[in-house]
Amino acid sequence: MSTLSPGTGGSASGRAAQLSLAPRPAADTDEELETTDGQRGLGPTGRRPRRIPEPPSLDRHGPATVLAMCNQKGGVGKTTSTINLGAALTEYGRRVLLVDFDPQGALSVGLGMQPQELEQTIYNVIMERSVDVHSVIRKTTCEQMDLLPSNIDLSAAEVQLVAEVGREHTLLRVLRPIIDEYDFVLVDCQPSLGLLTVNALTASDGVLIPLECEFFSLRGVALLIDTIEKVKERLNPKLDITGILATMFDPRTLHSKEVMARVVEAFGDIVFDTVINRTVRFPETTVAGEPITRWAPRSAGSKAYRALAREVISR
Ligand SMILES: Nc1ncnc2c1ncn2[C@@H]1O[C@H](COP(=O)(O)OP(=O)(O)O)[C@@H](O)[C@H]1O
Ligand SMILES: [Mg+2]
């Protein structure tokens, strides 16, 4: 892979190198945006942050809590939150499996994989009974975190599953053999409320809803909550909303604060105290193929996902 190096600037290959997106080492810290109202002790949600205990250490692993990372709107931070919450959970000694359940394969790419080159993906586990899920799971750069990758093949599964008996329980069946090997399974959903997402909700204990701090982001949430309630009623009585995560928050704008206030007003206590700020650090980590907690461990983004991990463990 080409990287920037002195002395190559004049040549054509040097110019190409400068245009390439090869990951460059990042400074470890970034601007620490002031997100708390220091005087009144209020957090970015406008509330006093709850006290979250230090997560207890584990002496054995499993069975996993399965969380669907879900919002039918694209670009709200589902995939980014899946990678970085997963990596932060491993820092607290948790074993984590990330499930790429979006045919776009962005989660797999974000962990440095090239999904089109994989011989087997979650699609094969779903469609071919002879394929063992263990043989498809891949290791990531985080020691305690594995990935069940996907690629565009998965879009065919959505069509093929429609005709099957028990079509909503397919992911549940896929996860059953490995549930005792992990403490958390995070399912990165596609941006739709179709059959794949219904499968994710049927296989999950909880739903984590990333919500962008933008005016229109609230529009689809009622429909999402309605879908969650239907799945709970008809397919999976244990399903609950684990929490709503405000993402892409800009503490310098009144707009972000107004949206935040509306979200807290509408959803109350299920809104996490942790809020993820908008920063270029996240697009950078995608290029690097690594979680932010490894790419820039002391950055504000890393700290935020660690705080989220503590909240998720305590819920
Ligand atoms: N907090 C953030 N600040 C700035 N950019 C972000 C943030 N979170 C995610 N992004 C970027 O926004 C884009 C969409 O995020 P992604 O996690 O892929 O959303 P989704 O999975 O919901 O479609 C990506 O390019 C990602 O790098
Ligand atoms: Mg995504």
pLDDT digits (tens, 9 = 90+) for 176-198: 999 999 999 999 999 999 999 99
Q: Which atom of ligand 1 is nearest to the CA of 71?
A: 22
314 Cα–ligand 1 center, Å: 25
Residue 75 in domain = yes
Q: Output the CA 39–ligand 1 centroid distance in Å.
A: 31
Summary mean pLDDT of the chain: 89
pTM as predicted: 0.90
- Say how many C-beta atoms besides its own lie within 10 A of residue 51's C-beta: 7
Is residue 288 very low, low, confident or very high in pLDDT (cuts 50, 70, 90)?
A: confident
- Three-state SS for 60-89 is CCCCCEEEEECCCCCCCCHHHHHHHHHHHH
Range of the domain at 217: 60-314
Ligand nearest to the CA of 78: 1
Q: Residue 303 above 90 pLDDT?
A: yes
The set of residues, in sequence order, having a beta carbon less than 8 Å from that of 186 and lying 6+ positions away, is 67, 69, 82, 85, 86, 96, 97, 98, 99
pLDDT in tens, 224-268: 999 999 999 999 999 999 999 999 999 999 999 999 999 999 999
Residue 33 inside a domain? The answer is no
Ligand 1 atom with least separation from CA of 277: 1
State the total domains in the chain.
Answer: 1
pLDDT interval class at 217 (50, 70, 90): confident
Tell me, yes or no, whether 302 lies in a domain. Answer: yes
User: Residue 163 pLDDT more than 80?
Assistant: yes
Q: Ligand 1, closest atom to CA 80?
A: 17
Residue 201: which of 238, 174, 176, 164 has the closest Cα? 238
Per the CB < 8 A criterion, the answer to whether 279 and 300 are in contact is yes
* Tens digit of each residue's pLDDT (9 = 90 or more) over 109-158: 999 999 999 999 999 999 998 999 999 999 999 999 999 999 999 999 99
Pairing state between β 271-277 and 240-249: parallel
Asked whether 283 lines ligand 1 (CB < 6 A), one says yes
Which of the pair, 20 or 158, is modelled with greater confidence? 158
- For residue 184, being part of any structural domain is answered with yes
Check pocket membership of 177 for ligand 1, CB cut-off 6 A. Answer: no
What does the alpha-carbon distance between residue 294 and residue 296 come to, in Å, rounded to a whole number?
6
Tell me: pLDDT of 7 over 90.
no
In a domain, 42, yes or no: no
pLDDT of residue 218: 86
Ligand 1, atom 14, residue with closest C-alpha: 75
CB of 66 within 8 A of CB of 202?
no
CATH number, domain of 297, equals 3.40.50.300
